[in-house]
Amino acid sequence: MSSIPEFGELLAGAKRSAVHLETRDVYYSNPRFETWQKGERTDWDDRASWWRPFHQQIADAVARGVDVRRARVVSEPVTEYIRWEHYVTHANLAAGERVRWLPRRQATDLLLPVNDFWVFDGQLMRVHHFSGDGDWLDKELRDDPGVVETCSTAFEKIWGRAIPHDEYEIK
């Protein structure tokens, strides 16, 4: 795992596109989620309080002309974690990422990859592995053209059916 480049390095090398598929309803917890659970909300006017290096990496890629897209396949009614993700997606959008949501019920006839991933320029894929309860396990890099094409095609089908963030209503 240590030989796999960090996300920022992979994104910095992207020239045209970076697409991200998320398929889980629960991910590992983190302090920002826990704070949100306690009722605290982000002051979106105070960018310094929520802007992270990740957001800058996205903004830099978008400024270079990289199309950064994220599709989330979610069960409805959504979990509390997904409710929080929907709330904090404001930061992704501010960085220039485009985000869409696909209710799992609307994906029955699609073949979905079983792991979350990023695909860079349709050639390199970083696969994320999680435990059943959402804890991060590890990542792997795949450059097999058949695997990357299969997952890229699945992403495009999901993207085409998914609902833009500003139109998706949490249920």
In DSSP notation, 62-131 reads HHTT-EEEEEEEE-SSPPHHHHHHHHHHHHHHHHT-EEEEEEGGGGTTS---SSEEEEETTTEEEEEEE-
Rounded Cα–Cα distance for residues 160 and 17 (Å): 16
Architecture in CATH of 7-167:
2-Layer Sandwich (3.30)
The pLDDT value given to residue 54? 97
The pLDDT value given to residue 133? 86
Average pLDDT over the chain reads 96
Q: What is the dihedral of CA 20, 34, 28, 3, to 10 degrees?
A: 70
Angle at 122 between CA 126 and CA 22, to 5 degrees: 45
pTM of this structure = 0.95
pLDDT digits (tens, 9 = 90+) for 102-158: 999 999 999 999 999 999 999 999 999 999 888 899 999 999 999 999 999 999 999
> CB–CB of 58/96 below 8 Å?
yes
Q: Which two tokens stand for residue 6?
A: 């960090």
What's the burial of 162, exposed, middle or buried (CB within 10 Å: 0-12/13-18/19+)? Answer: buried
Residue 2 has pLDDT above 70, yes or no: no
pLDDT digits (tens, 9 = 90+) for 19-71: 999 999 999 878 999 999 999 999 999 999 999 999 999 999 999 999 999 99
**Sequence letter at residue 138:** D
Closest CA to 44 of 34, 30, 57, 55: 55
Residue 1 has pLDDT above 50, yes or no: no
In this prediction, residues 96-104 reach a mean pLDDT of 98
Q: Which two tokens stand for residue 51?
A: 């802007």
Share of the chain above pLDDT 90, in %: 94
